[in-house]
Amino acid sequence: MAQANGRRTSRRGIYLKLRQMVLTLELPPGAALSENELAASLGVSRTPVRESLILLAQEGLVQIFPKIGSFVSRVDPAQVADAQFLREAVELASLDDLPAQPDPALVGELRDNLERQRRPDLGLEEFFELDEAFHQGLMRLSGHGNVWTTVAAAKGHLDRARRLGLHENVSPAVFATQHHEIFAAVVGGDITLARTRMRDHLRAVFSDIERIRAHSPELFATGPSTVPVRRNVVIWE
């Protein structure tokens, strides 16, 4: 039984590792995926890799084409919009439930988070993690922290679009400033302003997509007929 549990844990770990590689753009949109190469790099057999790719395909993060191969899904603006709609609805509703006297310990955690966002040597992935923790922290402040797991599971395409946006910007400082403005409105008790600042902040991803798509259209899905054709090299049509 212990050995079976270990295999399940290992397979879960492979899935999480591959998912993280997709979300962080280590495996970029449109990249061809070789089960053999992935298995070798992760030090496992092909079976857990194949099973993980199937799970990622169910999430829309990987596409598997019979007789052609497996590929990282290109970022789908429609799925980004759906995830954004869900996230915005949840986070704005959460702001409405903020108590008159927020938990001082949680407020302190958010202040510390914001200070770390200002570090000049902060890497993009470090900033992304702080960004996620900040938004989850605001939901914890309103008593809805557990909902974040549901939100996070639904925003794979959105997270990739956000990371592309971070890479486009010279510095994440603009996003850190927006976080400060949201936080100031929250602790100041101005929920209307906090909602406005949050809505503008979350919707910035749409302008990022349009800007990036203008010079890198190959990163984005163009519709349901987007299928690669294997000739001497893989070509997306």
pLDDT, position 39: 95
CA neighbor of 73 nearest in space, from 136, 138, 27, 142:
27
Between 223 and 99, whose confidence is greater? 99
Provide the terminal-to-terminal Cα distance of the chain, rounded to the nearest Å: 48
Instruction: Answer whether residue 114 shows pLDDT above 50.
Output: yes
pLDDT of 177-201, one tens digit each? 999 999 999 999 999 999 999 999 9
- Cα separation, 164 vs 172, in Å, equals 12
Helix axes 124-141, 104-117, angle to 10 degrees: 160
CA–CA distance from 35 to each of 14, 49, 229 (Å)? 12, 6, 19
CA–CA distance from 127 to each of 14, 113, 143, 176 (Å)? 25, 10, 24, 9
pLDDT of 43-80, one tens digit each? 999 999 999 999 999 999 999 998 889 999 999 999 99
Phi-psi region of 143 (alpha: psi -120 to 50; beta: other; left: phi over 0): left
